[in-house]
Structure 1
């Protein structure tokens, strides 16, 4: 498989389609524990919505282009086949309220690797994209052996008549071992994601907050025609440098008051980061 041989027909940039620009900064709304998860303590769903909207407003006021709602507090994360209908339902309601009240494009990411659950929630929330951590191939994580979801997820998307939903796919997802496919090059794994119909590719570090290696970013870009964004380790210290290498970033931890994913969003930190994006040539909303 080779881009040079024209195997992959060119696609319109999913970033342009969704955000109206081809270089973006996306903030993550780390939702409180949802009904059905171990840390949920019976709060009204209205309280969960209010929290998510407040976080989303802080990101918007700081100048991001879009958002992802994520069930970050549903620890420990189940494997995809054990994710319940309640997760999709609650993320759909939260995502719809965030989209309606904040006025930015909103995507959905269900952990861990909940492609089908994400698609269901995104379709109901009128969200234009999902993030899927393992779209092709396989890896080993805390949840166990996780296989690529593309074959069944694309069929499920078609069943819902949700072909408009774009897939943001990690090439090497965080928090796992990739030794199973260690004999395959970065270029091969990048091409696999493109060949199995991903729309945007994500480069990450090894864990939340870990900086993505420049070689990972440039290697993915060299092997694909798709937009490439960074999915971890972005901060005020490296923002301008790394943003100049790619088409955008998903950023959260560095924009929190305590610089941890479980903190509250700090508007001033968001503004500082988006100013760096502007200096790197990004057009802010």
Structure 2
């Protein structure tokens, strides 16, 4: 493995106090300003987020990621306006105060600067960024990595403790435009641009990551590795044998559908299946 950055390689241990972490996803309902928002009071949106958080944490998950997945169709980063950050900061703060577990923020699509602001305001420990370096063609169009801008913004806020977890070969897109660089090289670019952890995914929300691609990403970098889509009770053992943890969403929802509430029974069953594989 080629070392390409002097960043430390223990972000999971630092944040979660353990070598392998189970992280649940809070898919926030649509916020005001998004097409799917139906005019309900904001308290209903925050309460839905808190209920999902409680179902995840009370049944054994180690942390959470808060994401504006209800805001479909997503905007490009430069078009995301201030209300999204404001609403997500409130949701993050309420969840952090209620449960006290490690929390991350993901602002779709690919908006690390609002995510850092939300994390700083809400007390989150990390952000997820789908494209940290390079560029790709996504559902939203041409998306560029914004590592340089985001790290300078983090420095201005004096929030260097907020860690960056970045996807490699991110879902819902075609990468590197001319496809002349390998997944291993794209992964090394994340380390070179000072990410703290790398995330492997499938092709779209709910799709499992390819085991061979997980191995390729793991072998390309010294950073801790998570799998961020398609994780379920059946594959959690093999995935944890290759990684430092998982971010889980759809398989823990009622009916296994991302827009439904979290199902506590599914969480308990998932955590039980993961438990034998959580020791390094």
**Cα deviation per residue 1:114-164 (whole Å; 9 max; x = unaligned)?**
111111111100101000000001110110000011011111111111111
Counterpart CA distance in 2 for 1:109 and 1:87 is 12
Counterpart CA distance in 1 for 2:252 and 2:137 is 29
Q: Deviation of residue 58 (structure 1)? A: 0.1
Residue 2, structure 1, aligned to residue 2, structure 2 = yes
1:114 aligned residue: 111
- The answer to whether the 8 Å contact 1:167/1:199 transfers is yes
Other structure's SS at 1:244 match: helix
Task: Point out the more displaced range, 234-243 or 20-29.
Answer: 234-243
Counterpart CA distance in 2 for 1:11 and 1:61 is 31
Residue 60, structure 1, aligned to residue 57, structure 2 = yes
Counterpart CA distance in 2 for 1:31 and 1:282 is 31
Q: Deviation of residue 279 (structure 1)? A: 1.4
Q: 2:74 aligns with which of 66, 77, 85?
A: 77
TM-score by length of 2: 0.97
- For the aligned residue pairs, the C-alpha RMSD in angstroms reads 1.4
1:11 aligned residue: 8
For 1:135-214, list aligned pairs within 5 A.
135-178=132-175, 180=177, 182-214=179-211
Q: Deviation of residue 14 (structure 1)? A: 0.8
- The answer to whether the 8 Å contact 2:227/2:246 transfers is yes
Q: 2:246 aligns with which of 245, 249, 253?
A: 249
Counterpart CA distance in 2 for 1:282 and 1:43 is 44
Other structure's SS at 1:108 match: strand
Residue 127, structure 1, aligned to residue 124, structure 2 = yes
Other structure's SS at 1:264 match: coil
Residue 96, structure 1, aligned to residue 93, structure 2 = yes
- Deviating beyond 3 angstroms after TM superposition, the runs of 4 or more aligned structure 1 residues are none
Other structure's SS at 1:219 match: helix
Counterpart CA distance in 2 for 1:257 and 1:79 is 30
Counterpart CA distance in 2 for 1:182 and 1:112 is 22
Counterpart CA distance in 2 for 1:22 and 1:200 is 13
Q: Deviation of residue 179 (structure 1)? A: 5.4
Q: Deviation of residue 12 (structure 1)? A: 4.7
**Residue 158 to residue 10, structure 1, CA distance change in 2 (3 Å):** closer
- The answer to whether the 8 Å contact 2:9/2:222 transfers is no
Counterpart CA distance in 2 for 1:61 and 1:198 is 30
- The answer to whether the 8 Å contact 2:229/2:248 transfers is yes
**Cα deviation per residue 1:38-95 (whole Å; 9 max; x = unaligned)?**
1112222222111100000000012011001100010110000000111111100001
2:236 aligned residue: 239
Counterpart CA distance in 2 for 1:10 and 1:29 is 29
The number of residues matched between the two structures is 280
2:219 aligned residue: 222
Counterpart CA distance in 2 for 1:162 and 1:181 is 36
Gaps of 5+ in 1: none
- The answer to whether the 8 Å contact 2:9/2:224 transfers is no
Gaps of 5+ in 2: none
